[in-house]
Amino acid sequence: MTPMQDRRFKQRHCPACGNESADVLLEVTAAQVVGSNWSYRSDALAMLDLHGEATFPIVRCTRCGFGYARWQPDDDFLSMLYDQVIDADAARTHSFTRGSMVARMNYLAILLALVRDEGRVGVLDYGCGFGPTLALLTAARTVDACGFDASLLRSTELRACGQAVCADLHDVARRAPFHAVILDNVLEHLVDPRATLRQITTWCTPGAVLAVGVPECDPAALRRLQKSAPHGRALPMDINPWEHLNYFTAKTLDVTMKDAGFQAIAQSRLPCAVDIGLRPEPRRWARLRNAAASGLRLAGYALYGDTGGYRSMRFYRVGTPR
């Protein structure tokens, strides 16, 4: 059965501009999605009642260039996926690894330093998952942190552990306003990211700061995968048209945020060292290529105050120019 024949899926228009026309960047099968995701249980296809050869395309809008999954799963499918197909123990353990916690501490240090308000700070972790970021925030005595997650399993578990996790969006609104909001690997999951961002603006104080992280998804890279994937090459875990409905570049993320009322904070205004992308490379040719790309980013920083390169976490402020 194809997604077109499966009533649990409906076709999407571009979530950025509403355009119906799109070019296919990559087509993946259900078996490829399951095989590329370590967090799924071994019988995931049976649990989801999917044939392994069912095809799910990732497309690019012909009008605005936004990348997105063509088919949208219904709530029952997603509930099964997040609360039963995903191995909660494995996902929870991965969320609290040392590397994961170090990465969170790094962006939280920047986020809290950007908050202008003195005294107590209200922080919302929207899409808090199993709560690793909340665990760090609650250790700061001047931070009033709360979380929200659409997964009933995860939010119930966190509340049972004493974490301040909202039961629904009305509860989030009652706890507002917030000086800072975290969207760590969230926007790619949302059917309508712009609508969620506009709602978040209503919960923010003037000048509030957002930390936003999404997987980078270069359309050219997806096209290359289209050529290599049928030959047995494994897919990156981020290529998942059931969970990841949206595929951002740095540019489309900035446009999405700006349309919702958030302005990107240039790297020259961040309280941290500027990363121009120099990485350790054992091979000379790789070092030369990396140095050349880093040189271009350095020139961009010198001219415009921003490297223009992709960063795992980007920062935005409500209604403030760059």
Task: Report if residue 167 sits inside a domain.
Answer: yes
> By CB neighbour count within 10 A (0-12 exposed, 13-18 middle, 19+ buried), where does 89 fall?
exposed
What CATH number did the domain enclosing 137 receive? 3.40.50.150
Query: Is 50 exceeded by the pLDDT of residue 322?
Result: no
- 2 versus 318: the higher-pLDDT residue is 318
- Mean pLDDT of the region 288-316: 87
CA distance 84 to 78: 10
Q: Mean pLDDT, the chain, as a whole number?
A: 92
Boundaries of domain holding 82: 9-86+217-247
Task: Report if residue 4 sits inside a domain.
Answer: no
In this structure, the answer to whether residues 166 and 267 fall within a common structural domain is: yes
Query: Is 70 exceeded by the pLDDT of residue 76?
Result: yes
Task: Report if residue 198 sits inside a domain.
Answer: yes
Token code pair at residue 147: 């979380």
In this structure, the answer to whether residues 276 and 302 fall within a common structural domain is: yes
Domain count for the chain, please give it.
2
In this structure, the answer to whether residues 207 and 300 fall within a common structural domain is: yes
In this structure, the answer to whether residues 205 and 304 fall within a common structural domain is: yes
CA distance 224 to 318: 37
DSSP string, 142-181: TEEEEEE-S-HHHHHHHHHTT--EESSHHHHHHH--EEEE
In this structure, the answer to whether residues 44 and 74 fall within a common structural domain is: yes
Task: Report if residue 1 sits inside a domain.
Answer: no
Q: Range with the lowest mean pLDDT among 129-138, 157-166, 229-238, 303-312? A: 229-238
- Alpha-carbon 52 to chain mean position: 26
CA distance 200 to 260: 9
- Mean pLDDT of the region 227-254: 87
- Mean pLDDT of the region 248-268: 94
Query: Is 70 exceeded by the pLDDT of residue 233?
Result: no
Please name the residue that has the structure tokens 């609650």: 138
φ/ψ of 317, rounded to 5, equals -130, 145
Asked whether 149 and 125 are in contact (CB, 8 A), the reply is: no
CA distance 112 to 109: 6
Per-residue pLDDT of 1-55, as tens digits, reads 678 789 999 999 999 999 999 999 999 999 999 999 999 999 999 999 999 999 9
- Mean pLDDT of the region 113-133: 94
Q: Is the pTM of this model over 0.75?
A: yes
CA distance 210 to 254: 12
In this structure, the answer to whether residues 185 and 288 fall within a common structural domain is: yes
In this structure, the answer to whether residues 107 and 191 fall within a common structural domain is: yes
Give, as one character, the DSSP assignment of residue 86. B
- Alpha-carbon 237 to chain mean position: 13
In this structure, the answer to whether residues 40 and 81 fall within a common structural domain is: yes
